[in-house]
Chains A and B, each alone.
Chain A
């Protein structure tokens, strides 16, 4: 069975600084998607970034980028130039053959 592990329950960063959130997963599938979702206090899950497993190039969306290491089954999220609005719960998720599996989340605090 697939699993997703986020080992950092909480992280904090100073505004304008860079922070990296960690995620590892386990799977025997070769084709899958990986996602980072953000859940602000409004509770709505918002897609931050997506990575297709067959693509070697790391995905980038403005200030958000990932470090995807397929062999190591690692998928970390880097947030550059952190903003107060980045404060939220961040969930790493695996989308394989039959369902979307989430990690336990990392609460990110951003200090001015």
Chain B
């Protein structure tokens, strides 16, 4: 079956702009999590969605937001981009939400490389 698909793969934006990233989970998976990966901070948890509801949010400013649709596809949005937002954004899907006994593995997409200039 198809894996986790993230689009676009690469993106270049200017400071102050906003950006929307998309993640299509594996068919049947209802939990989607987002992570920001940078050389300095490593992998940082952004948020998790399950059944269209945000279950948990990491320590990021309100400029970072997300949503999940009824087909489990998820989008994350970053408004008023800053240079420090340049990173690899990874999406992961799971059958069940984190903490559930059914959540035995997170499957990751290839990420979106965002560069803010």
In the complex, are the beta carbons of B109 and A50 less than 8 A apart?
Answer: no
Cβ of A74 < 8 Å from any Cβ of B?
Answer: no
Best-surrounded residue of B43, B45, B98, B105 (most CB of chain A within 10 A)? B43
Chain A residue nearest to B101 (CB atoms) is A31
In the complex, are the beta carbons of A100 and B108 less than 8 A apart?
Answer: no
Of A20-28, A40-48, A76-84, which binds chain B? Answer: A40-48
In the complex, are the beta carbons of B99 and A102 less than 8 A apart?
Answer: no
> CB-CB < 8 A to A103: which residues of B?
42
In the complex, are the beta carbons of B103 and A99 less than 8 A apart?
Answer: no
Residue-wise, chain A 8-38 has the 8 Å CB interface mask toward B (1 for contact) of 0000000000000000000000000101010
Cβ of A68 < 8 Å from any Cβ of B?
Answer: no
- Given A45-B90, A97-B98, A97-B99, A102 and B42 contact (CB-CB distance below 8 Å): yes
Partner pick for A43 among B104, B107, B111, CB 8 A cutoff: B111
Residue-wise, chain A 89-102 has the 8 Å CB interface mask toward B (1 for contact) of 00100011111111
> CB-CB < 8 A to B98: which residues of A?
95-100
Residue-wise, chain A 45-76 has the 8 Å CB interface mask toward B (1 for contact) of 11100100000000000000000000000000
With both chains docked as a complex, state the minimum distance between the C-beta of B8 and any C-beta of chain A, in angstroms: 14
Partner pick for B58 among A43, A91, A99, CB 8 A cutoff: A99
Cβ of B106 < 8 Å from any Cβ of A?
Answer: yes
In the complex, are the beta carbons of B109 and A91 less than 8 A apart?
Answer: no
Chain A residue nearest to B107 (CB atoms) is A47
Instruction: Give bound CA distance, A47 to B112, whole Å.
Output: 19
In the complex, are the beta carbons of B45 and A101 less than 8 A apart?
Answer: yes
In the assembled complex, 6 residue pairs joining A and B whose CB atoms fall closer than 8 Å, in A order, are A47-B105, A91-B43, A99-B45, A99-B98, A101-B45, A103-B42
